[in-house]
Homo-oligomer: A and B are copies of this chain.
Amino acid sequence: MFLSTSHNKIDLKCRVSIPASFRMNLERLKEPLILFKSLQFPCIEGTTLTRMQRYINAIDELDALSDDAFLLRMMMADSFEIKFDINGRVVIPDILMSFASLTNKAVFMGIGESFYIWSPSEYENQYNKSQKILNEKGPPKLILKKNE
């Protein structure tokens, strides 16, 4: 599971350390890391290859001419399998750097099955937005299921 938030530096080669806990999660699962453009936010989403594989398999199940299939294909095109260097760093592809408006700092935000990489300013925007919703509408109703 990807949990917690941390701020890391992006160097001139677009390298950034993935938080150790995220790396350990991937190692434990023996999963390669995939980075891709979030479909909902101006940020990068990180997840496992297996999870990405499920999207790919789903394409064949859909009507090949449908909008959904089209969007999923475009999503694959903006996905990258990422390798770690010996110190646990990755290089963020240019396409993703500019999509998420990243320059020299990245905010890593674990959200369970995957994680987001935000630019600090966008992260702040989203954070403020969430606080505002919380103040106006109160906490969301949650129904917790037991683990099977």
| CB contact between A73 and one of B59, B93, B95, B111 (< 8 Å): that residue | B111
Report the bound CA distance from A60 to B4 in whole Å: 19
- CB distance B56 to A113 under 8 Å? yes
- CB distance B111 to A68 under 8 Å? no
Whole-angstrom distance from the CB of A37 to the nearest CB of chain B?
10
Report, as a range, how many residues of chain A touch the other chain: 35 or more
| CB contact between A130 and one of B71, B79, B93 (< 8 Å): that residue | B71
- CB distance A109 to B68 under 8 Å? no
- CB distance A134 to B39 under 8 Å? yes
| CB contact between A77 and one of B4, B56, B58, B65 (< 8 Å): that residue | B4
A interface residues, Cβ below 8 angstroms from B:
1-5, 21, 34, 39-40, 49, 51-56, 58-60, 64-65, 67-68, 70-74, 76-81, 93, 95, 109-113, 126-127, 129-130, 133-134, 137, 139-143, 146-147
Question: Can you list 5 pairs linking A and B with CB atoms under 8 Å apart?
Answer: A39-B140, A55-B143, A56-B112, A70-B129, A76-B111
